[in-house]
Amino acid sequence: MPHHLIRKLDRYAGLSADDKEMLQRLVCDVAWVASDHDLIDEGAALRQVGVILDGWACCYKQIEDGRRQIVAYLIPGDLCGTPPVFPSIVNYSVATLTPVRVAQIPAHALLSAMDKSPRITRAFWLDLLASFAIQREWTANVGLRTARERIAHLFCEIVTRLRAVGLTTADGCNLPLTQEDIGETVGLSTVHVNRTLQELRAAGLISLKRQQLVIPDFAALRAVAHFDSTYLCRSRLEADADPPPAAMAGSAVPA
Amino acid sequence: MPHHLIRKLDRYAGLSADDKEMLQRLVCDVAWVASDHDLIDEGAALRQVGVILDGWACCYKQIEDGRRQIVAYLIPGDLCGTPPVFPSIVNYSVATLTPVRVAQIPAHALLSAMDKSPRITRAFWLDLLASFAIQREWTANVGLRTARERIAHLFCEIVTRLRAVGLTTADGCNLPLTQEDIGETVGLSTVHVNRTLQELRAAGLISLKRQQLVIPDFAALRAVAHFDSTYLCRSRLEADADPPPAAMAGSAVPA
DNA sequence: CGTGCAGTTGAATTGCTTCAAAGCCTGTGG
DNA sequence: CCACAGGCTTTGAAGCAATTCAACTGCACG
């Protein structure tokens, strides 16, 4: 069932047919969760990993006075929780942004699959490292960019990630975020997000209405954002980096 | 040799005597690197992991126009690079902030140690998850806190981490950072870092001169920062990790 | 005893926030 | 089918936090 996840892990580490079969059988407890519900509460001790099958969720942190920071978005194919060490206490919460279909992988099942296949182990490592790389990029994003750059960067990242799982249209994507969500993501007030979006629209860099984000000229937006996508797609590079540099066919990698 | 690392991994996963012995034998290429040198350049393909034995380093990202963001500090016992998947391309650079003594663990050695001991594997997972948790906290720190809170939070984190490896004095630590470094860490200009430090000093929350940071009342600083140390000491879920001491009398520090 | 870098200060400016109100969609019930 | 409610978005105006530029001080080191 978790097509996106398996495809992603395959891209990371080149799974065998057996590996994929095994992963298929890991999941259980597939369920729909309504929008705006918590999947994980801060401080919980997890004994399983969630897999997002459909919909969007976000990881966030809150401080006493109510201020909230979104620290990650989860889209189909993403893990929800902290594989694969159990029990593991999380220090953030996860909330759905849309209705979400989510599956669970029990601790023991995941660990035994990793025991049996080094490729699966490697794939989960790479997935974690990829999330880490995104987190680093987010720290840099809020730390050193201007409002306009931050939002542009966020949009570049989202579209690139959605494209990797086939959830984009030709030149955009569905974006189930309110301006408040965006503000809590990039560290700006809602009002200023609104004004900055208008700037981006006025500059012809994006159009955004009714949750439809359109980026007519991705290269232009990427330039504004100083967006460098390598942090998102290292998976493949690493596989290819194994042999010494040589001329190689450009596109398809055999499964 | 890498005492701090082994002690930390032991705290994470409870290593056997054999495990520790094995880890001892992993390292090679111990070397001193002068201050202000790069240990890793962005885009490099790593085939080994570094271990910081002495001194401080930082991970940073840069964009074309020269703006720089520090995304992590490395202190003794920390890994430098991305274990344990090789070769692995990093999308950040690492620079020394002081003279640093660093050892290397070759890819094959690390992987075979992890093969032999599930506790070692688990420990490296937990170490990575711990760094990830810090990164998340940093994103939240620059995203939702004020200047004063950000710097206070940074100091709380640094002292707590240093305490875990025994590198603090009774009520402070050595802090080899310039105000520019601090600014690049928390997303503020150098000038404003300066003024904010003065505020913190005036409030009696810290004293900082000649690279000596003193926190007379940790609980007070922690309150200002909204600092919650759980993200740093989840290692042992068994809750036996001692919480960072709050305000403690004890001024046995030679001036 | 200068030279250079880190820290400090002041003044002007800007980017962003805050507060408050109004407009606009979408879903709901009469 | 229309009226209304509630969330999200938009607008304006005022204020504040942080930046920028530029000069100056103090300290460490050769």
Q: Cα–Cα distance between A116 and A111 in angstroms, integer? A: 9
Report residue A35 CA to chain centroid gap: 18
Residue type, A154: L
Estimate in Å the CA A211 to C1' C26 gap, whole number: 13
8 A C-beta contact, residue A246 and residue A170? no
Helix (H/G/I), strand (E/B), else coil: B74: strand
Nearest by CB to residue A140, choosing from B45, B61, B85, is B61
8 A C-beta contact, residue B166 and residue B75? no
Q: Cα–Cα distance between B90 and B88 in angstroms, integer? A: 6
Query: Which pLDDT value is given to residue B2?
Result: 63
Helix (H/G/I), strand (E/B), else coil: A61: strand
Long-range CB pairs of B206-209, under 8 A, 24+ apart, other chains included: B206/B152, B206/B155, B207/B172, B208/B175
Helix (H/G/I), strand (E/B), else coil: A39: strand
Nearest by CB to residue B135, choosing from A85, A139, A142, is A139
Question: Is pLDDT above 50 for B254?
Answer: no
8 A C-beta contact, residue A35 and residue A97? yes
Estimate in Å the CA B207 to C1' D24 gap, whole number: 24
Whether nucleic acid strand D comes within 7 Å of the CB of B188, the answer is yes
Among residues of chain B, what percentage have pLDDT more than 90?
71
Query: Which pLDDT value is given to residue A87?
Result: 78
pLDDT bracket for residue B44 (50, 70, 90): confident
CB-CB neighbors (< 8 A) of B143 in chain A: 69, 142, 184-187
Q: Cα–Cα distance between A32 and B148 in angstroms, integer? A: 42
Smallest Cα–Cα separation from A56: which of A176, A216, A225? A176
* Higher per-residue confidence, B244 vs A26: A26
Q: In chain B, what's the furthest Cα-to-Cα distance?
A: 55
Helix (H/G/I), strand (E/B), else coil: A232: coil
pLDDT bracket for residue A2 (50, 70, 90): low
* Tokens (6 digits) for B84: 């344990």
Q: Cα–Cα distance between A187 and A189 in angstroms, integer? A: 7
Q: Which of A36-45, A84-93, B182-191 has the lowest mean pLDDT?
A: A84-93
Query: Which pLDDT value is given to residue A237?
Result: 44
Among residues of chain A, what percentage have pLDDT more than 70?
91
Query: Which pLDDT value is given to residue B83?
Result: 76
Q: Which domains does chain B have, with CATH numbers?
A: 3-131 (2.60.120.10), 146-231 (1.10.10.10)
In 10 A of CB A9, how many CB atoms? Answer: 24
Query: Which pLDDT value is given to residue B234?
Result: 62
Interval B224-236 mean pLDDT: 82
Nucleotides of C under 7 A from a protein CB: 6-11, 15-20, 25-26
Q: Which of A9-18, A97-106, B140-149, B198-207 has the lowest mean pLDDT?
A: A9-18
Pure H helices in B27-178? 107-116, 118-144, 147-164
Report residue B38 CA to chain centroid gap: 17
Question: Is pLDDT above 70 for B252?
Answer: no
* Higher per-residue confidence, B144 vs B243: B144
Smallest Cα–Cα separation from B89: which of A230, A121, A180? A230
* Tokens (6 digits) for B11: 């705290």
